[in-house]
Structure 1
Amino acid sequence: MAGETRERILEVAERLFATAGFASTSLRDITAEAGVNLAAVNYHFGSKEALLVAILERRIRPRKYRRRALLDELEARAYGGPTVEQIVAAFVSPPFQSALIEGSRRREMLKLVGQLHSQVNPEFRRLFIQQFDEVRIRFTASLQRVLPDIDPEEVARRVMYIVGAMIYMMSWGEESGHPPSQAPERLLQSLIEFASAGMAAPATAPAGIPAPETLPTDASVAAHGGHA
């Protein structure tokens, strides 16, 4: 019974935090929706902030463990070490596949993650980063080992680009009501291919695109009477 109560509180709180926002949702809102009293929330979680942490742990931890297991397997069996594409696939596949399984819950969790990721409040950002950083750091280190010719800081930035693309792909169509026409499996493979190519791309500007230091300055353009 206690386990069922705790689960119901988590389900309701996740939905309300996602739809109304963390700051706008009170514990009384949650207890009224879940059909429990305030003492039950305090017993299981202690505070609204602790309830948010429990929600994040419940959703993110399984994906974190799956990612770690996939990378462990790759590093143990891959002859000469895993490839960039194998590492990227191990990074993006678990959350993408979880989102497909979760169905309607996906929208709620994505909204909540988006709110926390963009929150100005440093405490909210800390909660999100704390749940995510361990796996991000490990995958970044693995990619840095297989991409020794690319500056480590650039590799770390590209990992965050992948995170942004992954969140967008999983939420694509949810708000507009126009879901992508491709099958989810194809979308995942497309993301893996795109992210892998971007991760392994040379850090220098390609032919035909001037490097930043060769671009004309405002002063030089003005001096020559040029226009944008």
Structure 2
Amino acid sequence: MDDFSGEPDSSSRRGQTRQTILNATKELVALKGPNATTVRDITAASGANGAAVNYYFQSKDGLVRLATQEITADVNRERIGRLDALEAKAAGTPLDPREILAALIEPILIISRAQDGGSLYVRNVFQMRVDARAGHHTFGLNGHVARRFIDAICKAFPDLSREDAIWQYEFARGSAIHLLANLDPLSRRFEEIALGDGDHLPETPVHSLGQKEVDRVIDIILKGFGRE
């Protein structure tokens, strides 16, 4: 733990301490929401002290804002990277709708995994829906990602108006987040629904957030696109 007593710290140790605090805060804001996350929560989870939070991030609010934004930004960088690669390979031809959905949904699980196997991204989205104050209104930072996917949908479905493509994009994104949230190891909603009277959840989750589940989500969303 850094004591900030005036002793010099190596740049590598400072970088490690900063990242440890940031990683712990990502877990917390996704689980509790930005406004419910306290400095005490952060210090307990990271092993750092309150002075370290202020030293590296100036304030708790600055740290929480950065953590929230990075959860989304990390996923969106992977999404855009995948879409860039697909479009370069397609050389101007429309992408297959399944490829578009895979580029949109798979990064949620690959990039933003929580320590318990859940998705930081999915949890963070739900926290922002529950508490409007938690949203930080980040569309200005990430709106280009939505527009890129909407452009790809328009090209794949030339009969769609742009307004309809926007609705399809939001349907795909929202459906994926909702379905994946039902697989979260903290909720296990699908398992709860399937229980009979007097049954109890098994100790080990039946489902996981894995490729098989992502493929199933994509199959369901494709039906909404009119493609099976």
TM-score for both structures, normalised by structure 1: 0.72
User: 1:72 corresponds to which residue?
Assistant: 84
Q: Does 1:144 align with 2:157?
A: no
Q: What secondary structure is seen at the aligned counterpart in 1 of 2:29?
A: helix
Q: Is the 8 A contact 2:122 2:181 kept in 1?
A: yes
Letter in 1 for 2:139: I
Larger radius of gyration: 1
Q: Which amino acid aligns with 2:135?
A: R
Deviates more, 1:51-60 or 1:86-95: 51-60
Counterparts in 2 of 1:126-137, with a 5 A limit? Answer: 126-137=136-147
Distance in 2 (CA, whole Å) between partners of 1:104 and 1:182 is: 11
Asked whether the equivalents of residues 114 and 120 of structure 2 are also in contact (C-alpha less than 8 Å), the reply is: no
**Contact 1:9 1:41 (8 Å CA) reproduced:** yes
- Confirm or deny that 1:3 pairs with 2:15: yes
Segments of 5+ residues of structure 2 without an aligned counterpart are 1-12, 192-204
Other-structure match for 1:82: 95
Corresponding residue for 1:187? Answer: 213
Which of 89, 92, 95 is the matching residue for 2:105? 92
Quote the residue 2:201 is aligned against.
Answer: none
- State which of 45, 66, 73 in structure 2 corresponds to 1:54: 66
Cα offset for 1:8? 2.2
TM-superposed CA distance for 1:59, in Å, is 2.9
Deviation at 1:12, TM superposition (A): 2.9
Q: Shift of the alpha carbon at 1:140? A: 0.9
8 Å contact 2:100–2:149 — kept in the other structure? yes
Partner Cα separation in structure 1 for residue 14 and residue 208 of structure 2 = 42
Corresponding residue for residue 164 of structure 1: 174
Please provide the CA RMSD for this pair. 2.8
Where does structure 1 differ by over 6 angstroms across 4 or more consecutive aligned residues?
none
The sequence identity of aligned pairs, in percent, is 25
Match of 1:8, SS state, is: helix
Asked if the contact 2:28/2:42 (under 8 Å) is kept, the reply is: yes
Contact 1:113/1:128 (<8 A) preserved: no
Amino acid at match of 1:185: Q
More helix by share: 1
Whole-angstrom distance in 2 between the partners of 1:82 and 1:162: 16
Given that residues 8 and 34 in structure 1 are in contact (C-alpha distance below 8 angstroms), is that contact kept between their aligned partners in structure 2? yes
Aligned 8 A contact 2:71 2:120 in 1: no
* CA distance in 1 between partners of 2:208 and 2:56 (Å): 42
Aligned-residue offset at 1:58: 3.5
Is 1:40 equivalent to 2:66 in the alignment? no
Q: Is the 8 A contact 1:147 1:200 kept in 2?
A: no
Mapped pair 1:199 → 2:225: yes
